[in-house]
Chains A and B, each alone.
Chain A
Amino acid sequence: METASAGARPLPARPGHARREGLKACLPVMIGYFPVAMTFGIAGTAAGLTAPQVVLISALVYAGASQFLLLASIKAGTPWPWVVALCSLLNARHLLYGPLLSRFLPQALGARLRAAFLLTDEVFATALQRIEAVPPGRRQPWLVGLGLGAWLTWIAGTAVGAYAGGGLEARFPVLAEAMRFALPALFMALVCQSLRRGLWLPVGAALAAAAAVAAAGYATLAILAGAAAGCLVHALRRRA
């Protein structure tokens, strides 16, 4: 698997350095996460949760789509079993991340299970792009640095939103509005970086299929439809 960072400098040998390099690689994710987490903090307190409750949810669940689903369910009065079932569907895509990353990680199960908690969409995407450039012995600490940076940013953003978000939005509405664009921009950048020779058609098919399903109002299904369409087009091209 080629990466956009194929020309990256080799990492220093010590695990501490690898963790710091992972943290540096996390910077784009942090920029994307903070405003979204802040939005969750603001919306959580507006939904009737206390600020410590909102922060605790971000720390424990650590899945943006599921957390926003939780808030929508509070507002709509959706029964909790339904909320949990929907959360399972939302998270089904995570099952595909492990197989793609597992060949880059050490075999020790404990280390893999610790890394698994940190494996969000964005951490997975960044790791998939860059982990191949990391020396094999340093991949675990690199991934932990990347994942911890994202997790702590998510918690910090939630806390800022829950405790001070209302005041910030009132004082700097233009900045707050612009920062909401960070997440779409992050995904646009990641898609562009994943494009390489031979992948334009499958990725184009994935975008088209996912866009059609998302436009019909099924955002979660759109992700799975995009993945299926991309794989199908790739398989058909290989056979042709």
Chain B
Amino acid sequence: MTGGLAFWVAVAAMAAITYLTRALPFILSARSRLLERLSREGSALAVLGPALLAGIAAAVIVPDLLPAGAGRPLPYLGGLAVTACAVRRWSNTGAAVLLGVAGYALLRALLLQ
């Protein structure tokens, strides 16, 4: 199923679709009234960015916490708490991610031995 013409046509189509979904708003933005409304400062949709982020975060995190996922909720939740505290304390995303990963690894070693 891999390496044939149909496979590479599908890969090319996926690449094109991905690019189009990213580029289309920029092509339309000069004229589109809808897109102008979407991006206006203070509009009801000003919350869209943070809400999308929250949605992506939930889509990444929740499946890992379900029984069929990673199956290690305590170290996982602990690691997330460490990350949240670190980013609120120092406002440095990179450092918070590294501390979160370290916290997760430590808790996993302590709790799942």
Selected from B2, B38, B47, B83, the residue in CB contact (under 8 A) with A230 is B47
Which range holds the interface residue count of chain A?
Answer: 35 or more
Give min CB distance, B81 to chain A, whole Å.
Answer: 9
Main secondary structure of the interface of A (DSSP, over half): helix
Q: Is the CB of B25 within 8 A of A66?
A: no
Q: Is the CB of A31 within 8 A of B94?
A: yes
User: Chain B: how many interface residues by the 8 Å CB criterion?
Assistant: 73
Selected from A184, A219, A225, A238, the residue in CB contact (under 8 A) with B76 is A184
Q: Is the CB of B101 within 8 A of A179?
A: yes
Q: Which of B12, B54, B101 has its CB near the most chain A CB atoms (within 10 A)?
A: B54
Main secondary structure of the interface of B (DSSP, over half): helix
Is B110 interfacial (CB 8 A cutoff)?
no
Selected from B17, B38, B50, B62, the residue in CB contact (under 8 A) with A195 is B50
Given contacts A61-B15, A84-B10, contact A53 B61 (CB under 8 A): no
Q: Is the CB of A109 within 8 A of B51?
A: no
Q: Is the CB of B1 within 8 A of A74?
A: yes
Residues 8-51 of chain B, each 1 if its beta carbon lies under 8 Å from chain A, else 0 = 01111111011101111111011000011011010011111111
Q: Which of A10-18, A116-124, A133-141, A159-167 contacts B (4 or more CB under 8 A)?
A: A116-124
Selected from B14, B45, B54, B64, the residue in CB contact (under 8 A) with A66 is B14
Chain A residues within 8 Å of B39, by CB: 99-100, 102-103
Q: Cα distance A193–B94 when bound, in Å?
A: 12
Chain B residues within 8 Å of A211, by CB: 58, 61-62
Q: Which of B10, B53, B59 has its CB near the most chain A CB atoms (within 10 A)?
A: B53
Chain B residues within 8 Å of A74, by CB: 1-2
Chain A residues within 8 Å of B94, by CB: 27-28, 31
Q: Cα distance A61–B87 when bound, in Å?
A: 31
Selected from B12, B30, B46, B79, the residue in CB contact (under 8 A) with A1 is B46
Q: Show 8 residue pairs from A and B whose CB-CB distance is below 8 angstroms, ordered by the A residue.
A: A28-B97, A99-B39, A112-B29, A178-B102, A178-B105, A188-B100, A202-B51, A223-B56
A interface residue numbers (CB < 8 A to B): 1, 4-5, 27-28, 31-32, 47-50, 53, 57, 60-63, 66, 70, 74, 77, 80, 83-84, 87-88, 91-100, 102-103, 105, 107, 109, 112-113, 115-117, 119, 121, 124-126, 128, 174, 177-195, 199, 202-203, 205-207, 209-211, 214-215, 219-220, 222-231, 234-235, 238
Given A115-B26, A210-B55, 20 more A-B residue pairs with CB atoms under 8 Å apart are A1-B49, A87-B13, A102-B29, A112-B26, A113-B23, A125-B49, A125-B56, A174-B109, A180-B70, A181-B104, A187-B53, A187-B57, A188-B83, A188-B84, A190-B57, A192-B87, A206-B54, A210-B54, A211-B62, A222-B59
